[in-house]
């Protein structure tokens, strides 16, 4: 019960960060598209709170941000991102709990989530673009999932493991999981 409340509060914090962080890059949409600020709190939520919370925060954050601020545009961007970020939160949380508690586990979980999330985004985008009467090409997929996102991918690969390893070294996650904080 105590951990459920902690996870709920942390999940709300991660969702709030996912809604606020894009303001720092959103004034220039091209930079926001490159740095992927909404992805970072979702990935951390999956790692710290577990797959259930990561999935929920990942799905809800882009939709909520779109409803409140109109960015990202709901169709197809926010809906596609909702499925992508839900996959990120799910995969990081699931793999991180199932794999041995070693530093490399953070990287395996993160890279697995990034690959699966982008595949999910591509599959959902094919459907959403089709509903709009547009085609979703391999070029659009590669551009949106990889080429334009390289700075954000690099940022995530550096920042997320650094945060998780620091939390582990400080014993914060161990204490968090056992309920001693």
CATH of the domain at 53: 1.10.1760.20
Top pLDDT among 147 and 106 is at 106
Q: Is the pLDDT of residue 25 over 70?
A: yes
* CA atoms within a 13 Å half-sphere pointing along the CA-CB vector of 74: 7
Q: Is the pLDDT of residue 24 over 90?
A: no
Q: How far apart are CA 126 and CA 128, in angstroms?
A: 6
**What is the pLDDT, as a whole number, of residue 177?**
62
Q: Is the pLDDT of residue 156 over 60?
A: yes
Q: Which domain holds residue 23?
A: 2-178
**What is the pLDDT, as a whole number, of residue 179?**
55
DSSP state of 50: -
| Number of domains comprising the chain | 1
Q: Is the pLDDT of residue 82 over 80?
A: yes
């Amino acid at each position: 019960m105590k951990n459920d409340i902690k996870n709920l509060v942390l999940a709300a914090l991660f969702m709030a960060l996912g809604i606020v962080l894009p303001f720092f890059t959103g004034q220039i949409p091209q930079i926001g598209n490159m740095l992927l600020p909404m992805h970072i709190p979702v990935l951390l939520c999956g790692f710290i709170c577990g797959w259930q919370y990561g999935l929920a925060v990942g799905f809800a954050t882009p939709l909520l941000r779109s409803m409140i601020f109109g960015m990202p545009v709901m169709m197809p961007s926010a809906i596609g991102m909702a499925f992508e970020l839900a996959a990120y939160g799910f995969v990081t949380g699931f793999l991180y709990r199932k794999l041995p508690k070693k530093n490399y586990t953070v990287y395996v979980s993160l890279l697995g989530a990034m690959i699966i999330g982008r595949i999910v985004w591509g599959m959902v985008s094919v459907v959403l673009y089709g509903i709009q009467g547009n085609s979703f090409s391999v070029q659009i997929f590669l551009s949106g999932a990889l080429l334009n996102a390289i700075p954000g991918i690099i940022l995530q690969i550096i920042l997320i493991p650094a945060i998780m390893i620091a939390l582990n070294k400080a014993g914060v996650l161990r204490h968090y999981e056992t309920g001693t904080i």
